[in-house]
Chain A
Amino acid sequence: AQKVTQAQTEISVVEKEDVTLDCVYETRDTTYYLFWYKQPPSGELVFLIRRNSFDEQNEISGRYSWNFQKSTSSFNFTITASQVVDSAVYFCALSHNDYKLSFGAGTTVTVRA
């Protein structure tokens, strides 16, 4: 069975602060994919990143960065210098070599001006 845990239900920060979202996963497969999605207040799901289990390089995209640590089964997401537009629900998800995405419960991020 595969499982994704996002222990932080809500995070509130002041603009320009950094915020890190935790994601811990469980899987028995050696090949799998990890994802982050953003859901702004408008409700749509926006794809942010996909990482496969053989690529443990950290990634940076603008103010976003991801830290993949296979040893701790974690795939954490950091927003640097947060902005009000970053306010959203963020989902971590896991997929094996099949057609199912298993999502975490999501973390609501509120960035206050």
Chain B
Amino acid sequence: EAQVTQNPRYLITVTGKKLTVTCSQNMNHEYMSWYRQDPGLGLRQIYYSMNVEVTDKGDVPEGYKVSRKEKRNFPLILESPSPNQTSLYFCASKQGGARSEETQYFGPGTRLLVL
């Protein structure tokens, strides 16, 4: 089954404790991205990757890191989480290529609470 998976689905942590949210897709998609969803703000892009070893900042990259060492995986790293990073996080992927008209497929979301 074609899908985007995220782990963990729910996470409670404390300020300053490094964490990683994993994202994996089995569709051989070139493009992957991370979004965060906050009430009243919709979804905002954190980082995206157009292919292996190619990443770029979205609208709200502060406090986050990403890596793309393999095509299927795109982990989101919070080196020192703070309470303002409490949010619902979505990973997405799509078939890439410049000007691709393909639709983005979203993972199930990860709810993060930083105390």
Contact = CB atoms under 8 A, between A and B. Distances in A.
Interface of A: 4, 6, 9, 33, 35, 37, 43-45, 47, 50, 52, 91, 93, 97, 99-101, 103-106
Given A43-B88, A91-B43, A99 B33 contact: yes
B41 to A, nearest CB: 6
Contact of A103 (B31, B43, B50, B109): B43
A52 B99 CA distance: 12
26 contacts: A9-B40, A33-B101, A37-B106, A43-B109, A44-B106, A45-B90, A45-B106, A47-B103, A47-B105, A47-B106, A50-B101, A50-B103, A97-B98, A99-B31, A99-B33, A99-B48, A99-B50, A100-B45, A100-B48, A100-B58, A101-B104, A103-B35, A103-B43, A105-B41, A105-B42, A106-B42
A99 B41 CA distance: 19
Contacts of B111: 43
A contact patch SS:
loop
Interface of B: 31, 33, 35, 40-45, 48, 50, 58-59, 88, 90, 92, 96, 98-99, 101, 103-106, 108-109, 111
B42 to A, nearest CB: 4
Contact of B101 (A37, A52, A104): A52
A104 B42 contact: yes
A99 B50 CA distance: 8
Given A101-B92, A103-B44, 20 more contacts: A6-B42, A43-B88, A43-B108, A44-B106, A47-B103, A47-B104, A91-B42, A91-B43, A97-B99, A99-B33, A99-B48, A99-B50, A101-B35, A101-B43, A101-B45, A101-B104, A103-B35, A103-B43, A105-B40, A105-B42
